[in-house]
Amino acid sequence: MSILLDRHGQRLEDHYPELAADQSVPANQAVLVPWARFGEIPENSKAGLLLPNTTDVLALPEAALRLPLLVLEFPSFADGRAYSQASFLLQRRHYPGQLRARGQAVVHDQLNMLRSCGFTQFQLRGDQDIDLCARLLSNQPSASTLRRFPSLP
């Protein structure tokens, strides 16, 4: 069971089950589709899209930006590429949907940085203390939220 939090530390339900390898992309149903099968997503789909951190999001087709959810992947604790993918998606592609972080870096010690970069949902790594993480997002000011240049969302 993966735990999903929003920007304020509130629990969210995950409406996007991962698409199984043998399953076809449903027409009108929330499901998480891997980037390799992006082409199978129909127009006006409710699907979410899972992007590896090596995807060039500046070249992402417009159709992907119309999806309600993009999930960015952190394959290891210290690999920060998806932070900059998030900046590109928000600042250059003006992606209006939900941006979810998942993977090895979605931990207590990086939540504030993830939030500052514009992620709206956090799929906590399995070993995380849920209450501690929720508390961090809900109130505690931390060093990384006190930056001055620039003032981020």
Partner 1 sequence: MYRYDQHDQQLVDARVAEFRDQTRRYLDGSLSADEFRHLRLRNGLYIQRFAPMLRISIPYGLLSSAQMRMLAHIARKYDKGYGHFTTRQNIQFNWPKLEEVPDILADLATVQMHAIQTSGNCIRNITSDPFAGAAADELVDPRPYCELTRQWATFHPEFNWLPRKFKIAFSSSTKDRAATRVHDIGIHIVRNAAGELGYEVYVGGGLGRTPIIGVKIRDFLPEADLLSYCEAILRIYNLLGRRDNMYKARIKILVKEMGLAAFAEKVEAEWTTIKDGPLKLKDGDLERMKAQFSQFELDPTAAEDGSYAQKLSEDPAFAAWTRRNLKDHRVPGYKLVFLSLKARGVAPGDVSAEQMDAIADLADRFAYGELRATHDQNLVFTDVRQQDLYPLWQELGRLGLATPNIGLLTDVICCPGLDFCSLSNASSIAVAEEIFDRFEDLDYQHDIGSIKLNMSGCMNGCGHHSVGHIGILGVDKKGEEWYQITLGGSSGNDASLGDRTGPSVERAHIADAIQTIVETYLKERLNEEEGFLACYRRVGMPPFKAKLYAESQA
Q: Output the smallest distance, CB 148 to partner 1, in A.
A: 5
Contact 152, 134 (CB under 8 A): no
DSSP per-residue string spanning 73-133: EE-STT--HHHHHHHIIIIIS---SEEEEEETT-SGGGHHHHHHTT--EEE--TTS-HHHH
139 binds partner 1 (CB under 8 A): no
CB-count burial class (<10 Å; 0-12, 13-18, 19+) for 51:
buried
Q: In the complex, what is the shortest distance from the CB of residue 29 to partner 1, in angstroms, rounded to a whole number? A: 32
142 sits near partner 1 (criterion: CB under 8 A): yes
Q: Binder to partner 1 among 25, 65, 88, 120 (CB under 8 A)?
A: 88
Q: Is 5 in the site for partner 1 (CB under 8 A)?
A: no
| Smaller CB separation from partner 1, 62 or 127 | 127
Residue count, binding to partner 1 (CB under 8 A) = 35
Q: Does 138 bind partner 1 (CB under 8 A)?
A: no
Quote the tokens at residue 48: 């979410």
Name the token pair of 58: 């500046």
Rule CB under 8 A: is residue 126 a binding residue for partner 1? no
Among positions 7, 15, 37, 81, the unique one binding partner 1 when judged by CB under 8 A: 81
x/- map, 93-122, partner 1, by CB under 8 A: ------------x-x-xx-xxxxxx-----
Structural contact between residues 139 and 30, judged by C-beta atoms closer than 8 angstroms: no
Given a contact cutoff of 8 angstroms between Cβ atoms, the answer to whether 73 and 51 are in contact is yes
- The residues of the shown chain that bind partner 1, judged by CB under 8 A, are 77-81, 83-88, 91-92, 105, 107, 109-110, 112-117, 129, 141-144, 146-152
